[in-house]
Structure 1
Amino acid sequence: MPLVVQVIPRLNSNGGTERGVVDIARGLKAAGWGSVVVSAGGPLVTNLERHKIQHITLPVDSKNPIIIQANIFRLTKVIRQLNADIIHVRSRAPAWSARTAAKRTNIPFLTTVQGIYNSSTMLKRRYNSIMTSGDLVITNSNFTAKHIMNVYGADPARIRIVHRGVDLSIFNPSAVTSARMVNLAERWRLPDGVSVVMLPGRLTRWKGHELLINAIAKIDRSDICCVFVGENTDHVSYQKTLENKINELKLNTTIRLVGGADDMPAAYMLADVVVNTSIRPEAFGRVLAEAESMGRPVVAADHGGAKETVISGKTGWLFKPGDVNSLTDALNQALNLSNESRDILAKNSMFHIKQNFSLEKMIESTINVYKELLED
């Protein structure tokens, strides 16, 4: 059977891209394909080893031009020793090495674009353009596909859209015990009898926390609790800005910053509404798909990948990006759902994700791209 080498800078446990590499590696093995991952290491290596998938440690996380050049020889050696059939890259620095290695060994070079890169200068656009030079290019949404066509002139005939998949064995309402939910509710000190509005995402400005704070201030009801779930990866000053704004609007008992969560399925089950207020369009928006798979109503800015994962009026609501009144209106609609309407929405949401955004569908679609490359 064919052997695929996936290359990624590091296998950190908190990234969607990294988890996607592991998911595809496991899917390839289950389908009887050969599967090897090359990275500079990270916590998810143990996950690969647990499933008896080979990992090769190389400094492919480096942006140093000398190391990138040396990685050409390292990857060429790996391809030849493994007799690999495809090299699949998901990041820019290793892509510059892998493309030349693929040419030297005469195997297909596949890239996956899963984000919107900073393209403010000609030099940045040149650096980013390596990701659109694959024999085929996978994108995680129609939005990302249009972006690389418009910004980098990517050939639409070479683009294949494979949406990020949700593991429905994990993000499944029936799989979450009441004990897990109680444990998390106690840790976050959630009051009884309130509707929970949740914004999962790192504490960084472009996630739009301030917009949600302003919207909560406009909602005329006292039986809600808004929870920001996510680590502070920005400057400490941003968290202080949020805390000051919450104090200024006298929302101290309504809005709380709880840090990261290691049990997101239980977190979603505590939420009455899951919100995405990103100021910039997100390439896909994994949080929305996960929340919908749990049957939660979602409210999201009407741009980017959210336009593909959310069916407005059926699985959630889309609001005008950056518009506090539009967001407030959408939140009110979600919070005022009757039990019957909430049940219908939950069924619609879970069916929508199962049909279009499951992990199984992502693996199957990716393997079909591999097959297409080998047929050519």
Structure 2
Amino acid sequence: MKNTLSIFCRWSYPKSQGGIPMHNYHLMNLLNDNMEINSISIHDQYNIDNLINKKGLQYFFIKLPFKSMFDLSFRFKVLDNWFRSYKDWIISKQMFKANYNFSSNIMEFMDIHSEGYYFLKNRNYFKNSKIIIRSHTPWTLLRKYYQAKDKKNVDSKWSYNREYFCFKKCDIITTPSKNLKLNLINIFNLNEKKIVVLPNIIDTDHFKPLKIRKNDGRFKMLHVGRFNRGKGVITMIKAFIKLAIKYDNIFLVNVGKTDKNILLECKTLLKKNNLDQRVSFENFIDYQDLPKYYGHTDVVIVPSELYESFSYTAAQGMSCGRVVIASDIGGIPETLNYGKAGLLFKPGNVRSLIDNIKKVYLKNINPKEFEYAARNFILDNFSFKVLKTKYLNFYKGQLKSKK
């Protein structure tokens, strides 16, 4: 009989295509031949139609009570953070109840929203299971990067206390980067031996260089991800404007959901400089279609001004053999091999970003060398082939040390 790993996360692929659900989906496919895998997420008909009985993976869905109440609460900003915290507690409790449908040798939770909180409060029910927290970026670390006006809609009461409790009471923590591990040690006073660095997984067969690239004389810049202030898009737009005024063959493509106020601010800046026709906003693009966007661009821009433990945009662009220019923040430098497989710039610094784009545009560096180094660094450190052994050894080790 296979050992069982249960992954708890409110979001699941394909309805949710952010970094966390993508990591869980890749992890399930990576280990499915060696372990029995369960996924527990919030009920969504789209996921049920597209995931049930697919590839032999086991999916369980919880229903969120008082859903209409939670939806209405977000209209009242004074109550928003309190209801958000209460919602997190309810989801954790519902996942706890769902766990009675099966037994698991290992249970894994994300740190965001402290979904393992109710489990760890009732640890006696799971004495024979190992509980792992997969830390992507706890809110306690992330919140200091937010401006007050942006923090208002994403903050959560009691977040530090719950995160601290979960980190202290779980058996082990994994992180995608060394930088996040160091931050957890410093913020929560954790023993370094309790934290294991396991890189996020990139599907290098899906994200791969195109055999033939279109060459229409345009220098194309690509931004993939949420178009909001924290992602550094205003810095990117300002850099683009200065470059585009001087060089008439530079264009910018943005892929991802947009913050309407930030979008308006950026479009106003572009129109003021008569550059609005050289920038496109594609909104959300399905995961399956992303490689062609990376493949037909000259440079991928990752201008984040929020802490990121890992950047999927950077890693996917590199896997497609593109030059990536990214903020020197959080764990992003590790993904770019500290500037050896991509270019780093100072977060929020327009001049620093411009200088790095010009290096590629004017060929002050050899783009082919960076493209080759980028692809090979991802293959050697983040591919299914390389990480399968690391993840299997990790989970086998947890089973051996199980009390």
TM range (shorter): 0.7 to 0.9
Instruction: Write the letter of the residue equivalent to 1:132.
Output: F
In 2: Cα distance, 1:274 partner to 1:66 partner: 39
Superposed displacement of residue 221, structure 1: 1.3
In 2: Cα distance, 1:363 partner to 1:16 partner: 18
2:74 corresponds to 1:50: no
- SS of equivalent to 2:236: helix
In 1: Cα distance, 2:97 partner to 2:320 partner: 46
| 1:188 counterpart residue number | none
Describe how 1:168-317 pairs up with structure 2 within 5 A.
Answer: 168-174=204-210, 192-219=216-243, 220-232=246-258, 234=259, 236-262=260-286, 263-311=289-337, 314-317=340-343
Superposed displacement of residue 297, structure 1: 0.5
Q: Deviations over 1:65-103 (max 9, x none)?
A: 46644643442x23xxx3321111124343112324554
Q: Deviations over 1:351-375 (max 9, x none)?
A: 1000111134344323222112111
Q: Deviations over 1:104-146 (max 9, x none)?
A: 2211111101124146698321122244232010111112212
- SS of equivalent to 2:107: strand
Unaligned runs of 5+ in 2: 66-85, 144-155
- SS of equivalent to 1:6: strand
TM-score (norm 1): 0.86
2:104 corresponds to 1:84: yes
Identity in percent: 21
- SS of equivalent to 1:52: coil
In 2: Cα distance, 1:260 partner to 1:83 partner: 37
Superposed displacement of residue 260, structure 1: 2.4
Provide runs of 4+ in structure 1 moved above 6 Å. none
Instruction: Write the letter of the residue equivalent to 1:163.
Output: P
RMSD between aligned residues:
2.5
Quick check: 153-162 or 249-258, which moved more?
249-258
Quick check: 296-305 or 66-75, which moved more?
66-75
Superposed displacement of residue 17, structure 1: 1.0
Instruction: Write the letter of the residue equivalent to 1:231.
Output: K
Quick check: 344-353 or 306-315, which moved more?
306-315
Q: Deviations over 1:225-257 (max 9, x none)?
A: 11122122x3x2221111101112332233222
Q: Deviations over 1:304-334 (max 9, x none)?
A: 1211011355322111111111111000001
Gap change, CA 1:250 and 1:70, over 3 Å in 2: closer
Which of 41, 44, 62 matches 2:43? Answer: 41
TM-score (norm 2): 0.81
Unaligned runs of 5+ in 1: 183-190
| 2:19 counterpart residue number | 16
| 2:83 counterpart residue number | none
Q: Say whether the 8 Å CA contact 1:166–1:358 is kept in structure 2.
A: yes
- SS of equivalent to 1:331: helix
Gap change, CA 1:130 and 1:336, over 3 Å in 2: farther
Which of 189, 194, 198 matches 1:153? Answer: 189
